[in-house]
Structure 1
Amino acid sequence: MKTYPLECVDLLRRARVAFKAGRTIKESFRLAQLDALVRMLEEHECDFVDALGRDLHKPRFETVVSELILVKNEALYAINNLKKWMQPQHVERNLSTSLDECLVISEPLGVVFIMGTWCSPVQMCLVPLVGAIAAGNCAIISPSEYTTHTAELLHRLTPSYLDNECFHVILASTNDLPEVVELKFDHVFFTGNREDGNKIAQVAARTLTPVTLVLGGKNPCYVDQHCDISTTTQRIAWARFHNAGQSLVAPDYILCHTELKARFVQALKCCLMQFYGSDPRESRSFGRMVNLEIFNKTKDILWRSGKVAVGGQVIEGEKYIAPTILTEVAESDSIMQQDVFGPVLPVLTVDNVDEAIAFINRHEKPLCVYAYSSNSKVCSRNSELQTIGSFCSNDSILQSLMVALPFGGVGKASGIGSYHGRYSFDTFSHKKSCLLRSTHLECVTYLRYPPYEERNLSLMTWASTLSQRSQGWCQIL
C-alpha cells in the first residue's frame, strides 16, 4: 500500500478546507478528537501489540508501556489542561497601557505534517499529533515505511476515530517525504536520523516552512566510581537494550571511571543474564532489528569496533543481534563516529568527571546526557556541558517521556524545537500579540503626530528617559 503524490495533494486540500471553515477551533471539537484517540488505543491494544510484534518482535510489555500508555498519558494530560492552555495570557501593563488590555492568544498554525520514526512508530506519530490536535490544527501523519504493519494499522484505524476531513494518515517511503513537504504545510514535525532530517529541513526552508526536528545522535552516559553499581547497571541495561537497542534516547556509549570498569562490565553481564537468560535469542523479552539494512549496518559497526566482552552473536535470517558490550573502544572507532540503532553498548574509560565533560564537549551537542553517581556534586556538573537536549541523573530515558518536561535537541546533531505536554501545544501554535486600546489618553498621545515640534520631541525624550529607569517604555506613547 502506498499513498501517491496526487492523493497527498487532495488530502492536503481537504484538510485546508476544513481548517479554513473553522472546524478545529472549538474546544469541544479538540476534546472529542483527543478522547477518540485514547479510545482507539484502548479498543485496539491487541492490534497494536500484534503489529509491533510483527515489525520489531517487540514484547507486549514494551508496546503497552513505552508506546500505548505514553500516548494515552499525553492525550489525557492535554484533555485535563486544554481549557487553561487555550485561555489568552495577560501581559503586565505599564503606565501607557494602564487603560488597555495586552494579551497573547494561542492560535492554530493550520495544516501540519508529522513524520514518525520506526524506533517507536506509535509514540513518535501520535504524541506530536496530540499537541497538534490540542492546538487546533489539522494534520497529515506519515508513519515509517520500515514498520509496515504498524503504519498500515494506523492508516486503517485513524479514519474510524478521528475526523475524516481534518486528519489523514499517508503511507509514503522515506524518499517520497521531501516531495510531500514541498506541498507547503504550516509546520513540519520530523523524528528520525540526521541525514533524513537534514533533507526535510532543506526542502522546508525553500518555502519558509517552520520545522521541529528530533534527531538521533550519540547520547553519552558517565558512570562515576561512587555509584550504586547494581542499580546503575540495571537501569543502563534496560535503557540500552529494550526494543533491541533501537532508540533515539538510549545511552549510546559509557564513559566509565577507570577504577570501576571491571566491576561495571561484570555487573552488566550478570544483569543481561538476569534480563534475558543465557540465550537472549530464546527470550520473549528481547526484540529484533527492524530490517536487514539496519541489521547489516549495526553488524558491520559492531565488528569494526573494540573488543566483544559480552554477546556479539548475530543471525541474519532472524535479524537477531545479541545484547553486546564492547570494551577497548577507541574514540576513533566506527561505533563512536556513527549513530547506532541496535543492541550494542561500547564502554570507554575516563579518570574523573572533568575528563568525561571534556570528552562530551569535544563532540556535537547530544540529544541526551546521563550521569550515574551517588555524589550530587558530580551530577550537578552537567551545567558545565555545552548546550544539550536533556539531562538525567541516575536513570535513563525517563526525562524524554514526562509530559511536564520539554523534550528536543539542539543544533544540527540532535535537532530543533521541543515537544510533550504544554510544549507540544506551543510548538503547534502561533502566539498572536493583541493590544486592545482605548481612546482616553489622546490628550497625551497627540504628541507623536505631525507636524513634528521640537517641544513635543523634548517631552517624549524626557518621558523615555524616565521610563528607562522603570519599565523601559516611552510612557507618553
Structure 2
Amino acid sequence: MAAAMGEIEDKLAELTQTFRSGITKSVAWRKNQLRALIELLQDNEDKIFKALHQDLGKHPVETYRDEIGLIKKSAKYALSCLDKWMAPKKRRLPLLFFPASGEVVSEPFGVVLICSAWNFPINLALEPLIGAIAAGNTVMLKPSELAVECASFLAETIPLYLDCKAIKVTNGGVDVCEQLLQQKWNKIFFTGNPRVGSIVMSAAAKHLTPVTLELGGKCPAILDTLSSPLDIKVTVKRIIGGKFASCNGQVCVGVDYILVEKKFAATLIESLKTTIKKFYGENPKDSKSISRIINEYHFERLRKLLEDPLVADAIVHGGLLDKENLFIEPTILLDPPLDAEIMTEEIFGPILPIITLNNIQESIEFINSRPKPLAIYAFTKDETFKKQIVSGTSSGSLIFNDTLVQQLCDVLPFGGVGQSGIGRYHGHYSFETFSHEKAIMQRSFFLELEPRYPPWNDFKMKFLRLAYDFDYFNLLLLLLGLKR
C-alpha cells in the first residue's frame, strides 16, 4: 500500500509540475490533445468493442451509440468551439466606474481528479476528460475497477495518444480511491452513487476542493393518456429504450418507474410486452442485443429486490434469472408496495415498476414526495400539464416525449440537483465545470472620485446614495452644484 501511495504522489507531483510549466494553457496543446483523443477512438474501435463485450456483454452497435460515437461527437464539438470558449468575454461596466473596462477570463483550475463509473466505462471516463483538457487542466483519471477490461484499455492506450506528463490513468480498487482522495486536488469530478458521492465530498471538504458529483436517483416516466395508437407505440418504444436498451437498465438516467392512470395500465403492459418481444425475441436470454449485469454482487442485489414476497407477487412479465451468465430478463411489475426497497432505492437494473394513479395530475405530488431525480420523462400532449410539470417539479433535466436523448445534446447542461448530483457538464458546460471564471477590471488614473474617501460629510453621503441608486441624472446635477 505504501508503494501505491508513493506512486500516486509521484504522478501527482508530475501533473503539478506540468501544469505549472504553462504548457496546458495554450490553445495548441488543448487542440492537439482533443485531436489525439479522436484518433484514439478511431484507431481502437475493435478493442473498445471487445472490452465492453467482455465487461458488460454490450453489442457493438450499443457500444458505438453510447460510447465511441458519442465521445467522438463531443470531442469534435469541443474542438470546433474551443477558440470561442477560451476568448475573454467583455463586460459593459456601469457609468460609475468610468473610465474602466471589464472582462471575464476562463482559467484552468489546475490538477484535477476524474473518477468514472462502470456502466459506461469509456463514455464516463472520456466525456469529463474532454472538458478538463479543453479548459487546460492536467488530469488524473481513475476508471472504475468493476469494468476490468475497459479500465485496462484506458490505462494502456491513453499514454500512447495523449500527453503522458499531463494526463495519467490510475487503476485500482477502493484502497486506491481512498489514497487518491487523501491528496489535494484543484477539482474533483466524480460519477457514481450518492453514498460514495458523500464520501468524495467529505474528503474534498478537507482541502476546500470544488467538486462536481454526477450521481443518480429514481428517474420517473409520467405517462399521460395518449389517444393515438401511433403515439402509444412510439412512447412504449422510447420507454423500453430508456430502460432496457441501454446497458440493460444499469443507467443513472434510465427510466426507474412509470406513473400512469389505472385505466391505462393494462393497455400499457400489453404494449410493453409486445415491444420487449420485438426487441429481444421470445427468449431474451438468447439475444445478443441485451447487456448483462456487471457482476455477481449486483446480480444478487437485484435478485433480492425481486424475491421480496410482496414484490414477487407484483411481477406481470419476465423475472427469469440466470446467475451463471449474470442475466436478468426484462421484468415488469405492477403496483409493488411503495415502501419496498425496489421503490425507495435506485433499481439500476432491468426491472420496471408501474405505479398506477387515479389521476395523472397526482404524479407531480408523487415525485415531489421523493428525492429530486436526475431526470423526469413525461409523455403528454397537454400543454397545460407540461407547464405544471415544469413549474411543479425539480430535477436535473426534464424531457417531454422521449428518454435518454438529453445526454446526446452538447448545447444543454447534464447534471443533477439535490441528491442526484452537484454541478453540470457536456459541451460548453464541461469547459465551464473545469474552469475558474476570473474577473478582470482595468481602470485609469484619470477622474478620481473623492466621495469614496474620508473625511465624511453630507455631500459625500448624498453622492453615495445617488451612485448606488444608479440615479446618474441627479448625481450629475449634484456634481455640477445644481442640486442640494
Common topology (TM > 0.5): yes
Q: Secondary structure at the match of 1:404?
A: coil
Q: Which TM-score applies when normalising by structure 2?
A: 0.93
1:237 counterpart letter in structure 2: I
User: Match for residue 117 of structure 2?
Assistant: 117
1:236 counterpart letter in structure 2: I
1:406 counterpart = 2:447: no
Distance 1:468 1:111, change over 3 A: farther
2:471 to 457, 467, 471: 467
Contact 2:100 2:443 in 1 (8 A): yes
User: Match for residue 441 of structure 2?
Assistant: 435
Q: Trace 1:42-121 onto structure 2 (pairs within 5 A).
A: 42-121=42-121
Please state how far the C-alpha of 1:470 moved relative to its aligned partner. 11
Q: Secondary structure at the match of 2:24?
A: coil
2:338 to 331, 335, 348: 331
1:362 counterpart = 2:366: no
Distance 1:92 1:456, change over 3 A: same
Measure, in 2, the Cα distance between the counterparts of 1:181 and 1:427.
Answer: 19
Q: Which TM-score applies when normalising by structure 1?
A: 0.95
Please state how far the C-alpha of 1:457 moved relative to its aligned partner. 3.6
User: Match for residue 247 of structure 1?
Assistant: 251
2:431 counterpart letter in structure 1: F
User: Match for residue 279 of structure 2?
Assistant: 275
Contact 2:292 2:325 in 1 (8 A): yes
Measure, in 2, the Cα distance between the counterparts of 1:44 and 1:469.
Answer: 67
Give a deviation string over 1:269-306, Cα, whole Å, max 9, x none.
00010000001111010110010001100111122225
Please state how far the C-alpha of 1:387 moved relative to its aligned partner. 2.0
1:343 to 319, 332, 350: 350
CA RMSD of aligned residues (A): 2.1
1:255 counterpart letter in structure 2: L
2:330 counterpart letter in structure 1: P
1:307 counterpart letter in structure 2: A
Distance 1:41 1:470, change over 3 A: farther
Give a deviation string over 1:45-88, Cα, whole Å, max 9, x none.
00000000000001111101100111111111110110010011
User: Match for residue 190 of structure 2?
Assistant: 190
Distance 1:65 1:461, change over 3 A: same
Measure, in 2, the Cα distance between the counterparts of 1:454 and 1:16.
Answer: 54
Say which is worse superposed, 23-32 or 4-13, in terms of deviation. Answer: 4-13
Please state how far the C-alpha of 1:194 moved relative to its aligned partner. 1.1
User: Match for residue 207 of structure 1?
Assistant: 207
List alignment gaps of at least 5 residues for structure 1.
Answer: none
Please state how far the C-alpha of 1:221 moved relative to its aligned partner. 0.7
Q: Secondary structure at the match of 2:436?
A: strand
Distance 1:391 1:291, change over 3 A: same
Give a deviation string over 1:353-372, Cα, whole Å, max 9, x none.
32111100100111000111
1:296 to 279, 294, 300: 300
Distance 1:246 1:470, change over 3 A: farther
Q: Secondary structure at the match of 1:24?
A: helix
Please state how far the C-alpha of 1:351 moved relative to its aligned partner. 2.1
Give a deviation string over 1:24-46, Cα, whole Å, max 9, x none.
01101100000100100010000
Q: Secondary structure at the match of 2:168?
A: strand
Please state how far the C-alpha of 1:191 moved relative to its aligned partner. 0.6
Distance 1:3 1:359, change over 3 A: farther
1:417 counterpart letter in structure 2: G
List alignment gaps of at least 5 residues for structure 2.
Answer: none
1:261 counterpart = 2:285: no
Measure, in 2, the Cα distance between the counterparts of 1:3 and 1:318.
Answer: 37
Q: Secondary structure at the match of 2:468?
A: helix
Contact 1:276 1:285 in 2 (8 A): yes
Please state how far the C-alpha of 1:111 moved relative to its aligned partner. 0.6
1:344 counterpart letter in structure 2: I
2:363 counterpart letter in structure 1: A
Identity of aligned residues (%): 37
Contact 1:34 1:75 in 2 (8 A): yes
Please state how far the C-alpha of 1:453 moved relative to its aligned partner. 4.4
Measure, in 2, the Cα distance between the counterparts of 1:65 and 1:470.
Answer: 63
